Amino acid sequence: MNMQTTTRLTTAEAALVEAFGAQVGDLPGNGAVIGTRDRLLDDLKKSGLPTRRIESWHYTDLKNLFREVPEANGSAGVSAVAPLIAGSSVLTVLQGEADAKVHAEGFSVSAYKDALSDGSAVKGLTALDKDDAIGRINGSFVRDGFSLSVPAGADLADPIEIQALHAGGQIHTRFPAVFGAGAKATIIERHRAETDAAALVSSISDIALEDGAEVTWILLQQQGAADTHLGQIRVSLGKDAKLRLYVINAGGKLVRQELRIEVEGEGADLTLRGVNLLGGDTHTDVTLVLGHNVPHTTSTETIRNVLFDRASGVFQGMIKVAPDAQKTDAKMACNTLLMSDDADFSVKPELEIFADDVICGHGATVSDIDRNHLFYLMARGVPENKARAMLVNAFVAEIAEELEDEKLVAPLEELISDWLDKHA
């Protein structure tokens, strides 16, 4: 690295470069993987972290917002927690290291570091485009995670819960998952801080649904108040595949959660639901890029946001309909409650349509609690603070109720209620 390149780097960018130099000798991977890591880091070094000049990062100036890289903390003691749903198959990644001694019934699982070590993971270590900072950071530093495979025709009665828990430091994980034709499964992916120590977390989940697979994937992000969480979900849907994707953000200081979804098979259906619970001085960005690439596919996306204190949030939703994707039916909505005059939320819905026989639409609202609803409850003896809490809870709990499975709905409603009780 020459001196001219070094002076162009911000403090955080230079810290990433230094962290890679310090860790590269210990990162798992054969020659091909190490070479790919080097290229990804070099690309990141040349381009720098994205700024608001890049359209897809306009509301999240990562170069300015991301300022510190915590020291690696590989020896921190973290223990597994009780699963969200009793009876789940629990896969733990503690301080970035997967527990390879897991019992898998009805599916296969292996530590992702094994795929790095033998080189089979190299094809997945890619940046999706020139502005994919998350792909470059994760591909450079990823150490472990789990590779999941649910065989064709399998019907898993109990959820699989991935627990990615940490006590600060640098955590970089990956979760590729393949669901065979006609497979049915529920996956709960939990990212949670167990201490107040600052962390840099990057995580990518590569999800492939083959023909006729039906999957519910629930992402729960509960990082600490000082944490940076850079997440990405990459999805491919085959013919007649059905994915219900639920994303709940309830923590972190700087959060960017990207959803990169490609609908590749006719008859495929996507249901995306998101809940962003934002308080303190968090900045949380959910960015969706959804490609309808073939005819006769459907999708619905509903995002609910509640903001307190000085929180700021972003939802960017791009739906792309390819020229051959006739009969696409895609609808997107984003609804926001601002509970503080100091909070703000930016919404950017987009449609890019190249087919002429489609039904596509989007809508967005930003408001305070409906005064009529508040008056109704208060007129019946409910104190104002309790009435406001009830209305906010109902606003977001409605999303969880769409799961229509009480064993899933109840713990998610409790999680949402607990967060609101602490912040309302």
Query: Confidence band (pLDDT; 50, 70, 90) for 370?
Result: confident
How far is residue 102's CA from residue 313's CA, in Å, rounded to a whole number? 37
Supply the mean pLDDT for the chain: 93
Query: Confidence band (pLDDT; 50, 70, 90) for 373?
Result: confident
What's the token pair of residue 384?
A: 């104002």
What's the token pair of residue 175?
A: 């979760």
The residues with which 309 forms a beta bridge, in sequence order, are none
| Predicted confidence (pLDDT) at residue 382 exceeds the cutoff of 70 | yes
| Predicted confidence (pLDDT) at residue 1 exceeds the cutoff of 80 | no
Mean pLDDT of 261-279: 98
| Predicted confidence (pLDDT) at residue 377 exceeds the cutoff of 80 | no
Handedness of CA 126, 130, 136, 137 (dihedral sign): negative
What's the pLDDT tens digit per position in 51-91?
999 999 999 999 999 999 998 876 668 899 999 999 999 99
pLDDT of residue 175: 98
Which pTM was predicted?
Answer: 0.95
The three-state secondary structure class of 70 is coil
What's the token pair of residue 290?
A: 């959804």
Query: Confidence band (pLDDT; 50, 70, 90) for 105?
Result: confident
What's the pLDDT tens digit per position in 17-40?
999 999 999 999 999 999 999 999
CA 141, 290, 247, 251: dihedral to nearest 10 degrees?
Answer: 50
What's the pLDDT tens digit per position in 197-239?
999 999 999 999 999 999 999 999 999 999 999 999 999 999 9
β-sheet with 242-249: strand ranges across = 97-98, 89-94, 160-166, 184-193, 214-222, 242-249, 269-278, 298-307, 329-338, 359-367
| Predicted confidence (pLDDT) at residue 314 exceeds the cutoff of 60 | yes
Please state, for a pLDDT cut of 70, what percent of the chain lies above it: 97
